[in-house]
Structure 1
Amino acid sequence: MTTQDHGPSPHPGRHRQLLLHLWCILLTAVVFWPFLATLVSYAAPGGATTSLILRDMVVPHTMALNDLATGRDGLPRAIPQDTVLAWLSPLLPPPATASILMLAGGYLGALGAAGLALQVGGRQGARTAAAVAPLVTVWNPYVAERLLQGHWSVVLAGVLLPSVALCAVRRTPWSVAALVALLVVCSLTPTGLILATVTAAVAALLSPTPARRLLTVAGVGAVLSLPWLVPTLLHVGAGATRSDAAGAALFAARAESGVGTVGALAGLGGIWNADAVPASRDAWAPVSTGAGVVLAVLAAVAAVLLWRRGNRRGAPLVWLALTAVVVPALMSTGPGVAVTGWALEYLPGAGLVRDSQKFVVLALPGLIVLLTAGITRAAGTGPRALAATTATVVALTWVSVPGLPRDLADLAPVELDAGYAGLADQVSDWQEENATTARILLWPPGNYRVTEGRPALDPALKMLPGRPLDPGYLIVDGELVDGNPGTVGALSDLTAGEDTLADRGVDLVVIDNGGTDGADDTGVQAVLRHHEEIWSSGRWSLYGTATPEAG
């Protein structure tokens, strides 16, 4: 036996890289398991055609390239996300597309966080920091809360921010191409594009050629914003581009048990909807909420130590992190709500920023920079200090959402009622017979339904061809907030028993008998009694409205 048989591996660096990749894959699979389950259901022979349904996330097994998906109705709420999913729908089921994006994004985001830690860290402890950074990126309250709210594409952009920052900093030949590709993926939603563009612009200040990199980021960001910016500008005089001032208070960041609003935001939590808070985080509060604050305090201590030592590596990202916490906190105060409310009412497109808590994820790259600094400083003190610091960061990260995989059980894929597909087929047949694009009114009022036992946007809005009319309103303390005036007026008339359907250009009416409980349909039945019932199933009825029958 030679001495080489007992020698070290000739490629230790490759082994470490392989372990890091496997670690990122494992984290992604554990946290984003509902998307993995969805992909498996489509990949398995004879698998079910499942859908992703929860609150704002409605990704049915098939989607129509209707006016809502393309923005032709003047309300670019889900553009270009739904445009891409609907366009690819004949080739790849939308849930599979969304799942591939989420799983790939989670892996690349985790890997980018490790790369960012190596980029800004010193020689000692950087590898340990590179192993911790992926955990902080995908296992946090922001990811869990936004997924439970249904904002999957916002989460996709959020976890990619460390990768965006890394590509903006590096000057390798592929970094610019990778940065552009990441911006394209993040631009699936306007919020995602804003998050990625701001992060890239700030991180570009750390690059060897900041001016050139900033111009690249600004140019790409401007081009990618056109799909939702153009419809907004074209309808700048319409009420649909402005929001009700009451939405400012509704969407303000929410205080959490024991830590208040600032503490909640510092821990990457504080979503406005209490129903979207993970069950384990709620049950463990104030321990879980306090864990995020302690982690933020540790990061702040690391920032002070760096500043005193003259090490300001990554400082722009740190300042961005501070801004990402402070600004939403200010917007949740009385004066902040008043200013935001004014902007919502008078500035077109201001509704994009009324949910200010979603921008707190901008703190993620800066948090990684600071935690990396703390871990590398501990490594310089000795192995015991390194182990203690690492264990503390890992423990605090876990405790902030202690039951994260289980908490996302409501996100598991489901099979939609076959009646949705039948309804879409009937509308498609009607359009072919009449050689026109149908304007479709859905009743009961509102765009939320109870679907497969979950509150969610009505899947029919995504599946019906033509022009399904989205009322787009919210109910705040019993008052109507926002909404498309024409669609809201048509629904009000129908509910009151006034037949203004033809005058308003409505071609078809869909009655959902099981989507909303307790709706009074007396007036609706009085109107539709004089119109032809085209199709009916156990839950849905479809009426033509062009030519009322004699009473």
Structure 2
Amino acid sequence: MPAYALALALLVTAPLLGPGYLLLRDAVSTPRSHLSDAALGLSEAAPRALPQDFAIAVASWAVDGGVVVKALLVAGLWLAGWGAARLVSTALPAAGVPGEFVAATVAVWNPYVAERLLQGHWSLLVGYGCLPWVGVAVTRLRTGLGGWWPLVAWIAVAGLTPTGLMLAAVVALVAVAVPGTGRSRRACAAVSLAVAVLSSAPWLVASAAAGSLSSTQATGVTAFAARAEPGLGTLGSLAGLAGIWNGQAVPDSRTTLFAVVGTAVLLAVVALGLPTALRTPATVPFLVLAAVAVVLPAVAATGPGLAALEALIRTVPGLGVLRDGQKWVALAAPGYALAGGAAVLTLRRRVPPVAAAAVCCAALLAVLPDLAWGVGGKVVAVRYPPGWAAVAAEINADPRPVAVLPPDVMREFAWAGTAPVLDPLPRWVSADVLTTGDLVIGGQTVPGEGTRARAVQRLLADGADSDELLRNGVGWVVVEGAAAPLDLPVVHRDADIALYRVGGTGAPAPHRALMIATHLVWLATLVIGIAGSAWARRRSIRS
């Protein structure tokens, strides 16, 4: 089964396996990352990518950052398929290997994976891949077949991003309802929460230390709401594990009425196994979670739901993570995988399990053909022009605050394809890069938290001279893409990027030692969980 899951993962990510970097919308990889203030969550922006940025910065000291990101993405999809199969073998063993094949296909080959890939959410897919393993770990604890270490490890791995950690914690807390005579529900819930708190230390402490959470995130609630596909309402799209807010981050097969066919096939496979799965007590908690994970985002996308969510985020700014409602549909994946695996049991009186599994897997692959080969060739490795490396080297040799033009957070580079991408510079240099975080979605500006960056960019737009920029602490100005030259000392300029020296310095960010310590807490939790799991497995094999 690991081989089949890996084959699916590689079929999806094949264009990324060659030289180059993943650079697509929110996905940014660079040759090297640094433990900058932004990587530690000490910038003006909300800490949405912690401890991900810390982990990449540490890993890229030894391995090219592009390789690290691509390897983690492949691993996330592989874990999703393999974990779904293991969940079936743990909670529904009667389904056997045929059921495991269907479950692995459901977990990897679905619109959620395609859309999140196109949106560039590679680290979210790592967390997604951990969800079935969290379910396996808690189920084995409840039935007395496993120890604590795998649960610790999988929650910590999912904690690469805040969303991944929250998804894993929810799955763990739901899975404690699995009946069994092993570890108590209270103990499983307590350990799950304790590990989740330890793993969330980086972004919880960063939010408090940097004061970066803002009620302005409520402005984007409508823009980030789940979206109905052609021929499907919002509820139908979410039930088909689709409906991402960004209509541009969608595989071509989901932009026409063919989306109805794809959703019908996926739901048919799930519905076939549902009666059998509901009769198996160990699967029921995951099935209930799947239903809730589809219905709640659909409700949140209605008028009253949007108003309630906006009011909630204005009251508690830290809940801005809830505004992208469709990403929480990931919680349905374990239940869908179990129901899909149970389909072979429902059909076994009429169809041999191997034949039933083959038909189900083939149907799931056929209705989403463009997930293969990087979602129809849209997810590919790109190469940076030489000037980018030269500019990064100059800034890293003298790390001073950097202002960037054009002011938009999202960029469009001819050498990176047709889709917009987040500015790569903040992840390539050790200096503080001033970014507003403003996003333009459907003509509406969703403001970010970068007030200082916004003020500096107004100065640049008004033609401020070097003395005024210097007084505002700007050390460098980078212009990305072709643009008229600035009246500033030129350090590097070519057709792709230009670097100007100003010489200003910024105040060192406080709390760096504190933030490094909190990231080490997460890293220690991860390492201890993995080492403990390996030790327990070795001991089990010996005995």
- Please tell me whether the aligned partners of residues 277 and 284 of structure 2 are also in contact (alpha carbons under 8 angstroms): no
CA distance in 1 between partners of 2:54 and 2:377 (Å): 28
The alignment covers a number of residue pairs equal to: 491
* Contact 2:98 2:354 (8 Å CA) reproduced: no
Q: Which residue of 1 aligns with 2:148?
A: 176
- Is 1:465 matched with 2:440? no
Matched, 1:272 2:245: yes
* Distance in 1 between residues matched to 2:479 and 2:70, nearest whole Å: 31
Kept in 1: contact 2:130–2:157 (CA 8 A): no
Instruction: Confirm whether residue 252 of structure 1 aligns to residue 225 of structure 2.
Output: yes
Give the one of 369, 382, 395 matched to 2:338.
369
Larger Rg: 1
1:441 aligns to 2:403 (yes or no) = yes
Name the SS for the 1:534 alignment partner: strand
Shift of 1:371: 2.2
What TM-score, normalized by structure 2, do the two folds share? 0.84
Q: Give percent identity, aligned residues only.
A: 33
Aligned mates of 1:52, 1:175 — CA distance in 2: 37
505 and 260 in structure 1: CA distance in 2 versus 1, 3 angstrom threshold: same
CA shift digits 1:263-302 (9 cap, x unpaired): 11101111111111112333xx323333324432553464
| Structure-1 separation of matches of 2:31 and 2:280 | 51
Q: 2:23 and 2:99 mapped to 1: Cα distance?
A: 36
Out of 117, 134, 139, the residue aligned to residue 104 of structure 2 is: 134
The gaps in structure 1 that reach 5 residues or longer are: 1-19, 42-49, 432-436
Distance in 2 between residues matched to 1:272 and 1:77, nearest whole Å: 18
Give the whole-Å Cα distance in 2 for the aligned partners of 1:428 and 1:475.
Answer: 30
The separation in 1 between residues aligned to 2:416 and 2:382, in whole angstroms, is: 10
CA apart distance, 1:221:
0.4
Asked whether the equivalents of residues 186 and 196 of structure 1 are also in contact (C-alpha less than 8 Å), the reply is: yes
2:385, 2:496 within 8 Å by CA — same for their partners in 1? no
Q: How does 1:221-236 map to 2 (within 5 A)?
A: 221-236=196-211
Check the 8 A contact 2:290/2:332 in 1, yes or no.
yes
Give the aligned partner of residue 379 of structure 2: 411
> Does the 8 A contact of 2:76 with 2:125 survive in 1?
no
Distance 1:136 1:306 in 2: 15
| Residue of structure 1 equivalent to 2:462 | 496
Q: CA deviation at 1:408?
A: 4.6
Matching residue's letter, 1:199? V
How has the CA–CA distance of structure 1 residues 448 and 332 changed in structure 2, closer, same or farther, with 3 Å as cutoff?
A: same
Pairwise CA RMSD: 2.3
The letter for the 2-side match of 1:405 is A
1:219 to 190, 194, 197: 194
The answer to whether structure 1 residue 357 and structure 2 residue 326 are counterparts is yes
Aligned equivalents of 1:413 and 1:477: distance in 2?
27
Name the structure, 1 or 2, with higher relative contact order (CA <8 Å, separation 6+).
2
1:461 partner letter = P
Shift of 1:541: 2.5
Question: 2:537: which partner in 1?
Answer: none
Q: Pick from 52, 74, 80: which aligns with 1:81?
A: 52
State the Cα deviation string for residues 328-356 of structure 1 (Å, max 9, x = none).
Answer: 10111111111222233342222211111
Alpha-carbon distance change, 212 to 370 in structure 1, aligned in 2, over 3 angstroms: same
Residue 359 of structure 1 deviates from its aligned partner by: 0.8
CA gap of 1:340–1:79, structure 2 versus 1, over 3 A, is: same
Q: Distance in 2 between matches of 1:353 and 1:546?
A: 40
How big is the shift at 1:27?
Answer: 1.8
Q: Which residue of 2 aligns with 1:422?
A: 390
Please, what TM-score do these two structures have when normalized by structure 1? 0.83
Structure 1 Cα separation of the partners of residues 145 and 85 of structure 2: 20
Segments of structure 2 that go 5 or more residues without pairing to the other structure are: 505-543
Deviations 1:463-488 (A, max 9, x none): 12211112111124544322212211
Matched with 1:540 is: 497
In the TM superposition, what are the counterparts of 1:239-388 in structure 2 within 5 Å?
Answer: 240-282=213-255, 285-296=256-267, 298-300=269-271, 302-304=273-275, 307=278, 311-379=280-348, 381-384=349-352, 386=353
What's the CA shift for 1:423? 0.4
Which of 23, 43, 55 is equivalent to 1:53? 23
- 1:151 corresponds to which residue? 121
Partner of 2:10: 29
After superposition, the C-alpha distances for 1:170-205 in whole angstroms (9 at most, x for unaligned) are 136765222222222211111111111111221122
Task: Specify the alignment match of 1:164 in structure 2.
Answer: 134
One-letter code aligned to 1:138: V
Paired position in structure 2 for 1:45: none
